[in-house]
Structure 1
Amino acid sequence: MQVALSGLDRATADAADALGTTGLSGPGAETVLRRPVAADPSVLTVITFDLDGVVRAAEPEEAKVLLGQRLGDQAVLQAIATRQPLLSDLFPLAQGGDAVVIIHPVVRGDGAATGMVSTAFIPFDLLAPIAADASRKTPCTFMVIQTDGRILYDPDPEEVGRETLDDALYKEFPEILAIARQAAGNRTGYGTYSFYSTGLGKIINKETFWTTIGLHETEWRVMVIGEV
């Protein structure tokens, strides 16, 4: 999973390097943006925006409705303020749907930052093939959450997007809340809990070990889950 995430980061960083020469807009920039679009099927859009947050180029074709829009998302504002690479939390996109973005600054040859390049992707689509392949080799399943407890990947699509610390579904299961709080502050760990089987069937006992992947100081907890 870390390899896949780092691959998208590398594709975005390479685009930022190339855009330092081509500029944020125009045919050259569009050619550059098509490369990270093709990097993984989970990628929704790749855009450039200037230091005012205005979208200057966008790919693929359906993303061009964003051209000229001024973005006010927290990740955009943070990237402009810090001019550092970042991995955002899951958030609603201007064009609809929820996604995560990787943002890198675009810097000219003279060292001046001109804007940013942002790759938006769906974590579930990035992680699902990897988790499915790993699950075929073990009786375990996988879940990936943000440190605030929001679920990015679960084999049960109904779980994706839920916030384990706030969702009413989990309040009946205090062990889950305890594990979510523990995972928030610990990069690795172990816990046991009771919850519905995949598909919200019968309640069963489970155990989980977790580890951490991430980029640019943003961490995701990868939970390995088995029945006990």
Structure 2
Amino acid sequence: MRITAVIAALLITVAVLGAGCAEENQPSSGETGESLLQDAVAGINGELEAVKASAGESARVLGAAGLTNAAGKEAVRQAMLNHPYTESTLVVTKDGIVVMAVPDNYAGTVNSDISSHPETGRAVREQVPLVSEVFPLEEGYAGVAQSYPVFGKDREYLGFVSIAYRPDALIGRVVAPLANGTPYDVWVTQTDGRVIYDTTPEEIGKNLFSDLKYQSPALQEAFSRIVAEPSGSLDYSFWDRNWERNVTKEAVWDTAGIDSAEWRVVVTRSQDAGEQQGAISERPPAADAADEMKAFVAEAALYAREHGRNDTIAAFNDPDGEFVRGELYIFAYDTNGTVLALPFQQGFVGTNRSEVHDSSGVAYISGMSRIATEGGGSINYVYPNPAQGYAEELKLSYVLPVDETWFVGSGIYIPEVGTEFDMSVREALVQRVKAARDYAQEHGREAACAAFNDLSGDFADGGEYIFAYKTDGTTLALPYQPEYVGENRFDLEDRYGVRVILLEIAAAESGGGFVYITYYNPDTGLDELKLCYVAPVDEEWFVGSGVYAGA
């Protein structure tokens, strides 16, 4: 059975709409902080209204068909495909019992009694559309739940449908295209001080009033004003965008939010923005640089084992020391993702970066940790290059464990490889994979993998094909390389030594995510840089697809 025409049409429609939104959000050369702020607030509100409309349509179908009807479940699935950043949807009765969970990965929440949760009580009591504050969701992560009441045919209140997502994903869809390439940073906070978005992703999830990094009286005074006043402007001092030094920041803010949400959107600019530029150095050939990098990391790991953790970390953090050699420098993390050494971004030392993603959504710190626990290896991601004025470039890093508690690494930049994947392309990729996941959950592994492996079917569309693996690395679907089906490829490395399947397994086990690899492109017959997205079908296997750079 093929993907339905409805789903196919939906994917095309959303891709077109996404491309239009991304184009409209591109900053003009004359973008000011005030205009960026107003565009950000309008865009965030537009996204919230769009989720509300999708939830409302789901509620309409559920009200007519019944809370557990198959038609209602299909409406919920379609609503989630409209918004690729959404994580899950629950349908809850007026008594607080979960009767439906989409996707099926969250089926374990069905029959749960969540009536005691404040957000459930509020939804049942008020019976109006609501946007919650961030809270630990039943599905196992902290996020926002946007709910809509469900009424039956006689206007009898039946319960509500709740679409859950990480707020930084929704906000980032609007803000990233606006702020990229400008001297402005943007952060968003709830009025309780919890940061729900920041162009410096390490700040997301912190609280302005309790985190140790924010405890200066001047900062506390500034933050108190921001959460107390719906709009305004002020100056404050904090780390620059690269976390090298303290600077004075000019801030303007306004308020976004619908249905009781009140999010302060803050746009900042360093008063001396643009003055600090790194020196441009001559770059060695990538192949030689990669060998040099690996030898450098091996040397650092040996040094760490011989000199002890404290002395070693001090040496690694010295920007003028022996572990900074041209563009190469050693970084170190504990296996939980906390920074131990980062010589050119000292403000990050002591910060946990395990949840940090690059501009394409690659969770590179957690990926490094996983690679280190498996004995070491390489990973690709996008990162600011201090030798090129902190321009974002593709980086190939190599990590090795020192012991079971921490690891060291270094990286080289590969600027000649383009890494700008348009937002609409990334979102279409996520929707394609989630549609394949839904198909697999509905039809089962055998039928789904047969469909994925069918070169004449809808899932094998050139470079946009669907692949599938077990979480032990066994290949289940690979339509253009059928000889690998049934083979275990857990140890597969691409030509740069990137642990392809290992990183995809790690992303799937975290609920889904992005991975950069170099892999065969059936459209060209060449190995090319590929941004993959994978999503778990269940605990035993996952599906994925990718888009090639320049596609």
TM-score after normalising by structure 1: 0.94
State the alpha-carbon separation in 1 of the partners of residues 264 and 234 from structure 2.
13
2:261 matched residue in structure 1: 218
Show the 5 A alignment for 1:65-104. Answer: 65-71=108-114, 72-104=116-148
User: Is 1:126 aligned to 2:170, yes or no?
Assistant: yes
1:61 paired residue among 80, 97, 104 = 104
- Deviation track 1:91-140 (CA, whole Å, cap 9, x = no partner) reads 11122111001111101121110011000011111122322211135321
Aligned residues: CA RMSD? 1.4
Q: Check conservation: 2:233, 2:251, Cα contact below 8 A.
A: yes
Show the 5 A alignment for 1:112-123. Answer: 112-123=156-167
Q: Provide the secondary structure at the position in 1 that maps to 2:262.
A: strand
State the alpha-carbon separation in 2 of the partners of residues 223 and 83 from structure 1.
32
One-letter amino acid matched to 1:6: E
1:178 matched residue in structure 2: 221
Show the 5 A alignment for 1:12-161. Answer: 12-71=55-114, 72-136=116-180, 138-161=182-205
Q: Provide the secondary structure at the position in 2 that maps to 1:165.
A: coil
Q: Provide the secondary structure at the position in 1 that maps to 2:265.
A: strand
User: Is 1:194 aligned to 2:204, yes or no?
Assistant: no
Show the 5 A alignment for 1:159-174. Answer: 159-172=203-216, 174=217
State the alpha-carbon separation in 1 of the partners of residues 193 and 244 from structure 2.
22
One-letter amino acid matched to 1:111: R
One-letter amino acid matched to 1:197: D
One-letter amino acid matched to 2:138: A
One-letter amino acid matched to 1:129: R
Displacement of 1:202 in angstroms is 1.4
One-letter amino acid matched to 2:113: R
State the alpha-carbon separation in 2 of the partners of residues 200 and 158 from structure 1.
11
State the alpha-carbon separation in 1 of the partners of residues 202 and 181 from structure 2.
24
Unaligned ranges ≥5, structure 1: none
State the alpha-carbon separation in 2 of the partners of residues 179 and 26 from structure 1.
51
One-letter amino acid matched to 2:238: F
State the alpha-carbon separation in 2 of the partners of residues 176 and 40 from structure 1.
36
Q: Check conservation: 1:36, 1:46, Cα contact below 8 A.
A: no
Displacement of 1:3 in angstroms is 1.1
2:52 matched residue in structure 1: 9
Moved more, 97-106 or 174-183: 174-183
State the alpha-carbon separation in 1 of the partners of residues 104 and 235 from structure 2.
47
State the alpha-carbon separation in 1 of the partners of residues 70 and 166 from structure 2.
26
Give the number of equivalent residue pairs.
227
Residue 134 to residue 27, structure 1, CA distance change in 2 (3 Å): same
Q: Provide the secondary structure at the position in 2 that maps to 1:162.
A: coil
State the alpha-carbon separation in 2 of the partners of residues 7 and 201 from structure 1.
39
Moved more, 122-131 or 141-150: 122-131
State the alpha-carbon separation in 2 of the partners of residues 150 and 4 from structure 1.
20
Q: Check conservation: 2:192, 2:227, Cα contact below 8 A.
A: yes
Higher share of residues assigned strand: 1
Q: Check conservation: 1:175, 1:192, Cα contact below 8 A.
A: no
Q: Provide the secondary structure at the position in 1 that maps to 2:163.
A: strand
Q: Check conservation: 1:88, 1:101, Cα contact below 8 A.
A: yes
Q: Provide the secondary structure at the position in 2 that maps to 1:216.
A: coil
Q: Check conservation: 2:231, 2:255, Cα contact below 8 A.
A: yes
Displacement of 1:199 in angstroms is 4.7
Displacement of 1:175 in angstroms is 2.9
Displacement of 1:217 in angstroms is 2.2
Q: Check conservation: 2:52, 2:129, Cα contact below 8 A.
A: no
Percent identity at matched positions? Answer: 28
Bigger radius of gyration: 2
Q: Check conservation: 1:85, 1:104, Cα contact below 8 A.
A: yes
Moved over 4 A (4+): none
- Deviation track 1:52-90 (CA, whole Å, cap 9, x = no partner) reads 111011111212121111113221111112212211000
Residue 52 to residue 128, structure 1, CA distance change in 2 (3 Å): same
State the alpha-carbon separation in 2 of the partners of residues 111 and 3 from structure 1.
28
State the alpha-carbon separation in 1 of the partners of residues 241 and 118 from structure 2.
33
Displacement of 1:163 in angstroms is 0.9
State the alpha-carbon separation in 1 of the partners of residues 220 and 57 from structure 2.
40
Unaligned ranges ≥5, structure 2: 1-43, 272-551
State the alpha-carbon separation in 2 of the partners of residues 37 and 45 from structure 1.
8
